[in-house]
Structure 1
């Protein structure tokens, strides 16, 4: 267990999130399968003065992609689809330019598919959903590059994967996640949020800094797209997810190896490669599997060092700062000196 000095240093590092009337954060550190830090800071709901606690549910943004990838891998385990399937087998309305794209390409961001954010109409009524992303891409008979020839991070690809989960399973994406991932793992409060259909309990709302304090900026026109970033979860539920990634209770050894193997290089800082829903960096004992999630009003990061049996999750409901560097500093408290022992 961490010493009191270590916990004090972590509180000092987290001080910016602890302001009594500002949006906050939830911090989880798991060491050797045991949560050794599990704490909330600041407020989940400024208007009602509700504090963040370990059960507060944040919009994960792109941290959601690891769940989308896991859903595809589960269906591959079931024999319901193959990672080598052409995307047009499942979504035949895509234009001919998509002929060479496989599910593997979508998972690893090597498809070349057009970013839906780049082709949004000037005026949008309501919010886009995954099916709307498909309709936008149906008008784009082009790719950024030949499938498999390059890497470009793609929210479009993961929106398409969510639709493919529905086609291959016979369940809508949110229901598949609930029945095949969240319920079996006891992640009882985690969900792919659909306004008017589901409710996020113990919900953190997103905020952005304004001249006179904080403004609620919880939803944008793309916040309802589920496959690339629509999941809400808490650090308590993510501790259960982290535990499931250490054995075969959900994904087989082979499936986890596929998720955690770099299938392409990225050229990005601290990201030597990309697996399926995971960024991959380093090797051996220093191998880091991680993902960030940034959207209007939320900034999140999940870091896992499998060989060190160390995980750090930092979820925040504010637009600034990016939490990656802070999470690395917190992790260092458990990688050196007294805290490691």
Structure 2
């Protein structure tokens, strides 16, 4: 069942996200460290160590069950290493939009024309009417072909996005692209009066225990690549809404646990429960049975159970299966061919789920 996802998700991911080089390490050593219950850690080591192809580029696999790490395995990596999470960044931007909505700074049905008044004159009438909700569900009508013609590393990227006229009718169909999430980053900057990174540090990263110091600077498409925290920016200094974050595998688990716990972490509510429910349930249909799109989260059932995931190119994954109180985070190195999300979901179904109590 999980493999049906590749027909939609993989085509989308591999055609619109920025490219990156590849690395082909030899057979991975036994996973390290450390957190491992029953035989799950050993099973992961054996699976990765005896696999061929893209699985050999696995950096880390972490499994959290009922809020506790039951397996934490690293391959040519270590817990402190941060890596490019690619489009998992989109799910983080959605989270910040949800927090801002809970803070009363915006509503999901407000339009770009209302939220970015100083740039309203740049927008075509259809663009002025695009809502936050449509940007969250990739139904703004902008196509990846439109967006990909604009260089995010040059000044004026947001203005150029706002000048685009949607090629599809807003609200009708999913057109996966990086431009819509980047406009959400612009909305956050406008409505909070802060950079999205500063807002994230205060309202999301620090409460989740995500360390953002030292922070490496860099432009979108250029990469950071030194293992430090980074959130790459466009040519005007706005952090990327569609990609650009570098996080640890434990950071990915923390994001997943926030959603699994309904927006509460450490006894503190960060996200409204209603937003979590909407963000992780089908808000827009995809042309594959049982699959849908939430608020920059993929609705991806596993073993017949409701589940949702944040997915980044080359195999970056945060998977949440609420009924099993499960969060799985996978970090990988770039590979050609890439590690497909469908194969990751199949691994969780066949290897992880049977070993949980």
CA distance in 2, matches of 1:220, 1:317: 23
- Determine which of 274, 281, 287 is the counterpart of 1:261: 281
> Is 1:32 aligned to residue 32 of structure 2?
no
Contact 1:35 1:239 in 2 (8 A): no
Contact 2:256 2:318 in 1 (8 A): no
> Is 1:327 aligned to residue 341 of structure 2?
no
TM-score, length basis structure 1: 0.77
Partner residue in 2 for 1:275: 294
Structure 1 position 96, deviation (Å): 2.2
> Is 1:239 aligned to residue 253 of structure 2?
yes
CA 159–190 in structure 1, closer or farther in 2 if over 3 Å, else same: farther
Structure 1 position 184, deviation (Å): 1.7
Contact 2:299 2:308 in 1 (8 A): yes
Partner residue in 2 for 1:317: 333
Structure 1 position 273, deviation (Å): 1.2
CA distance in 2, matches of 1:250, 1:13: 36
Contact 1:278 1:289 in 2 (8 A): yes
Give the SS at the match of 1:65: helix
CA distance in 1, matches of 2:213, 2:342: 26
- Determine which of 238, 242, 252 is the counterpart of 2:272: 252
- Determine which of 184, 201, 204 is the counterpart of 1:178: 201
Partner residue in 2 for 1:3: 38
Contact 1:84 1:104 in 2 (8 A): yes
The correspondence of residues 142-157 of structure 1 with structure 2, limited to 5 A, is 142-157=165-180
Structure 1 position 279, deviation (Å): 0.7
Structure 1 position 164, deviation (Å): 0.2
Structure 1 position 116, deviation (Å): 6.8
Unaligned runs of 5+ in 1: 43-51, 206-217
- Post-superposition Cα deviations, 1:103-159, rounded to whole Å, max 9, x if no partner, equal 1000011110243765526xx6xx627x7432222442x212111122211211100
- Post-superposition Cα deviations, 1:247-286, rounded to whole Å, max 9, x if no partner, equal 43211211211211211101147x6111112111349970
Partner residue in 2 for 1:68: 93
The correspondence of residues 1-341 of structure 1 with structure 2, limited to 5 A, is 2-4=37-39, 6-15=40-49, 24-42=58-76, 52-91=77-116, 92=120, 93-115=122-144, 118=147, 120=149, 128=153, 132-140=156-164, 142-189=165-212, 194-195=217-218, 202-203=227-228, 226-245=240-259, 246-247=261-262, 248=264, 249-268=269-288, 272-282=291-301, 286-294=305-313, 298-320=314-336, 321-332=338-349, 333-336=351-354, 339-341=355-357
Give the SS at the match of 2:352: coil
Give the SS at the match of 1:335: helix
Structure 1 position 79, deviation (Å): 1.1
Structure 1 position 190, deviation (Å): 8.0
- Post-superposition Cα deviations, 1:272-328, rounded to whole Å, max 9, x if no partner, equal 11111211134997001012111xxx5412211011111211111223332424432
TM-score, length basis structure 2: 0.74
CA distance in 2, matches of 1:306, 1:285: 12
User: How many residue pairs align between the two structures?
Assistant: 302
Contact 1:192 1:231 in 2 (8 A): no
Unaligned runs of 5+ in 2: 1-35
Contact 1:60 1:233 in 2 (8 A): yes
